[in-house]
């Protein structure tokens, strides 16, 4: 089976018969059968006897019954290849400890006691248990298992998986044990918990688990006691959570959010990505410093590697990783991004001489529209006249009447200074000056009208001339830079693909769109149309969103319709943005990217061959166009993926793509 770096983990809360370890052992074994495809299963705190046993914890009958249940569960793991964590009270040298027991292949392989005992408000643990510290015996004799490693200095390694263990209150402390475990290499933290339900506590619990997984650059699985343990003054909810790198992967139902249905047995299961965790740790130099400074020494228990690995099938993979799926979250994200863009532009404008014109090329397309809206809103927020914005629309040989009309209408309704300059004659003069025959058409003796007729008569498959396109882009940049401080419009996706003319539309004085991918630009404009701008601007924006993506540089049809569509040439931007995210943010190999794409939820179905072909295009263009990214203008970083050569992405312009293509070709 292909190893994609995923490990399936389950956090489970089973029904508990308080003070009946035999019945609870049966319940754990039954639960393990339900989660037989998980490599790691963690149950709640004191799950073999129940957290709410009170003074019964001191009874020898309870302690011995718990050990017998532990042995039965350990025996059950002999045929599952699972690593299982259960909780029980354990007497060691005259003291009682609240312990997590790790079981594998029929054996108890580790015993980790709880370090921080809550003894306030509804909690009373210090009445029964001893808080664990470093002054503990290194091993405990267990009947049937011999000497078992015991202590707060234990980690469990299983192949690429390195596990740290803490119990409930440990997580709520200023320096949780898991922080030290993570700096010692643990990439999965397991928490056996009995956290009762109070108003608002579930949200705080979720924040703790998620944020700790982010701080530790690790996965975190949290299993809490369920309602079958509720007694006297406390109610337990069975809240189970799994997070990774600051992102919640799975959450169970619990008491209080279960639609009034009984909650007896809950679980959260997720495929954690060890390769991504490793990538993030390699990338985060401050993390490496923290590891160097950590002076805690841990013993590592080595277990055989798992016989099988998860394929990531339980992991939700969005086809649009830059675009939140929840509408409310998406609107909030769009509002935040637009605010960042405006604040960044205001700072740069504030450093310019007063009344310096802000020059922007307005094509009627997505990117220039967003940049124009940012400029307008920035001027409005700082009481600068919007007439300071000089919007130029510069129709060329591929410009359609529809996009030209939208650009002109948008500038008019936004009250910016606008100007239309037909660049066709300037470009024709340039062709003559550099002795270029566009598409093989001799220019001697041709006027503009005749030249246009010759262009329209060209067969569709003959309309390829890079010089013809680049001259138009560079003439437009010349006109823009002759009129003030130029605002760039190119987006993150275009930078990744090098889909810009060097020193043409690739150059400006400041680019407000530099770290926004194409898939998000469209949603941003839709959001702004709905929430930030009124009619008739709104109608113009809706037309922009509905139009196909095109640079409109190649000749249009005889009827004036656009023939050049970007995605027909390079493939869907939705795929390119997916590839970009997983390559840069997750450090995924091409092979893994294709695997993730096979399970991703895109806006439409893509055949496997189309995905493979588009990934090949992406890789080749990404590597071959670093020289353009090495000299892009300043612009605000708004997300976790950025290709700025000054901030996030430093790549040699002459790097070879061969190894990545070999990986792509190997699947």
* Other beta carbons within 10 Å of 453: 11
Active site residues: 45, 114, 168
DSSP 8-class letter at 150: B
pTM of the model: 0.93
| Tokens found for residue 575 | 């795929």
pLDDT for the residue numbered 259: 60
pLDDT for the residue numbered 637: 95
DSSP string, 30-65: HHHHHTTT-SEEE--TTTTT-GGGGGGGG-HHHHHH
**Burial tier of 620 (Cβ tally within 10 Å: 0-12, 13-18, 19+):** middle
**Cis previous bond, 79, omega within 30:** no
Distance CA 631, CA 625 (A): 11
3-state secondary structure 444-465: CCCCHHHHHHHHHCCCHHHCCC
The CB-side HSE value for 200 (13 A sphere, CA atoms) comes to 0
Report residues of the chain scoring pLDDT below 50.
Answer: none
pLDDT for the residue numbered 383: 94
Distance CA 13, CA 226 (A): 6
631: left (phi over 0), alpha (psi -120 to 50) or beta: alpha
Q: Considering only the C-alpha atoms of the chain, give the largest distance between any 2 of them, rounded to a whole number of Å.
A: 107
* Other beta carbons within 10 Å of 415: 12
pLDDT for the residue numbered 263: 64
Strand partners, 150: 111
């Amino acid at each position: 089976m292909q190893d994609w770096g995923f490990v399936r983990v389950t956090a489970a809360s089973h029904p508990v018969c308080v003070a009946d370890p035999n019945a609870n052992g049966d319940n754990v074994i039954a639960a393990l059968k339900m989660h037989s495809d998980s490599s790691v299963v963690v149950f709640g705190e004191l799950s073999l006897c129940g957290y709410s046993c009170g003074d019964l914890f001191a009874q020898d009958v309870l302690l011995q019954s718990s050990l017998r249940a532990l042995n039965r569960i350990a025996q059950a793991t002999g045929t599952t290849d699972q690593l299982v964590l259960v909780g029980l009270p354990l007497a060691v040298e005259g003291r009682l400890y609240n312990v997590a027991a790790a079981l594998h292949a029929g054996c108890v392989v580790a015993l980790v006691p709880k370090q921080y005992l809550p003894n306030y408000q509804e909690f009373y643990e210090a009445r029964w248990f001893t808080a664990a510290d470093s002054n503990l015996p290194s091993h405990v004799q267990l009947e049937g298992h011999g000497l078992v490693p015991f202590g707060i200095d234990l980690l469990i390694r299983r192949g690429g998986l390195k596990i740290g263990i803490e119990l409930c209150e440990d997580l709520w402390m200023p320096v949780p044990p898991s922080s030290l475990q993570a700096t010692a290499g643990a990439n999965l933290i397991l928490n056996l918990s009995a956290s009762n339900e109070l108003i608002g506590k579930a949200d705080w619990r979720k924040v703790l688990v998620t944020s700790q997984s982010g701080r530790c650059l690790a996965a975190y699985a949290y299993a809490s006691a369920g309602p079958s343990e509720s007694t006297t003054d406390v109610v337990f909810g069975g809240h189970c959570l799994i997070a990774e790198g600051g992102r919640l992967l799975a959450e169970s139902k619990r008491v209080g959010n279960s639609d009034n249905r009984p909650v007896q047995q809950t679980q959260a299961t997720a495929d954690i990505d060890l390769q991504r965790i490793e990538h993030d740790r390699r990338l985060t130099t401050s993390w490496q410093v923290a590891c160097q400074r950590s002076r805690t020494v841990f013993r590592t228990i080595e277990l055989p590697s798992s016989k099988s690995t998860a394929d990531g099938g339980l992991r939700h993979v969005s086809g649009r990783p830059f675009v939140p799926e929840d509408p409310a979250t998406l609107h909030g994200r769009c509002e935040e991004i637009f605010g960042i863009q405006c604040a960044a532009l205001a700072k740069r404008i504030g450093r310019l001489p007063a009344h310096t014109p802000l020059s922007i090329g307005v094509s009627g397309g997505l990117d220039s529209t967003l940049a124009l809206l940012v400029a307008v809103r920035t001027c409005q927020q700082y009481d600068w006249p919007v007439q300071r914005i000089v919007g130029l629309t510069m129709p060329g040989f591929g410009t359609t009447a529809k996009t030209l009309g939208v650009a002109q209408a948008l500038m008019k309704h936004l009250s910016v200074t606008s100007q239309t300059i037909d660049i066709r004659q300037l470009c024709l003069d340039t062709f003559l000056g550099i002795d270029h025959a566009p598409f093989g058409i001799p220019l001697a003796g041709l006027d503009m009208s005749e030249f246009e007729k010759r262009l329209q008569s060209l067969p569709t498959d003959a309309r390829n001339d890079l010089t013809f396109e680049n001259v138009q882009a560079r003439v437009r940049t010349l006109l823009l830079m002759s009129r003030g401080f130029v605002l760039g419009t190119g987006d993150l996706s275009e930078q990744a693909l090098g889909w810009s003319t060097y020193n043409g539309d690739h150059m400006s004085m400041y680019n407000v769109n530099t770290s926004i991918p194409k898939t998000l630009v469209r949603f941003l404009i839709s959001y702004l149309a709905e929430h930030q701008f009124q009619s008739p601007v709104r109608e113009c924006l809706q037309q922009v969103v509905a139009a196909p993506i095109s640079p409109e540089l190649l000749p249009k049809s005889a009827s004036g319709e656009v023939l050049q569509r970007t995605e027909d040439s390079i493939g869907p931007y939705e795929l390119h943005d997916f590839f970009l995210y997983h390559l840069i943010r997750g450090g995924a190999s091409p092979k893994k990217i294709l695997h993730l794409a096979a399970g991703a939820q895109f806006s439409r179905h893509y055949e496997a061959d189309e995905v493979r072909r588009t990934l090949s295009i992406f890789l080749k263009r990404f590597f071959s166009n670093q020289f353009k990214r090495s000299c892009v203008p300043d612009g605000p970083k708004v997300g976790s993926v950025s290709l700025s050569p000054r901030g996030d992405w430093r790549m040699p312009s002459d790097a070879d793509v061969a190894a990545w293509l070999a990986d792509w070709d190997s699947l």
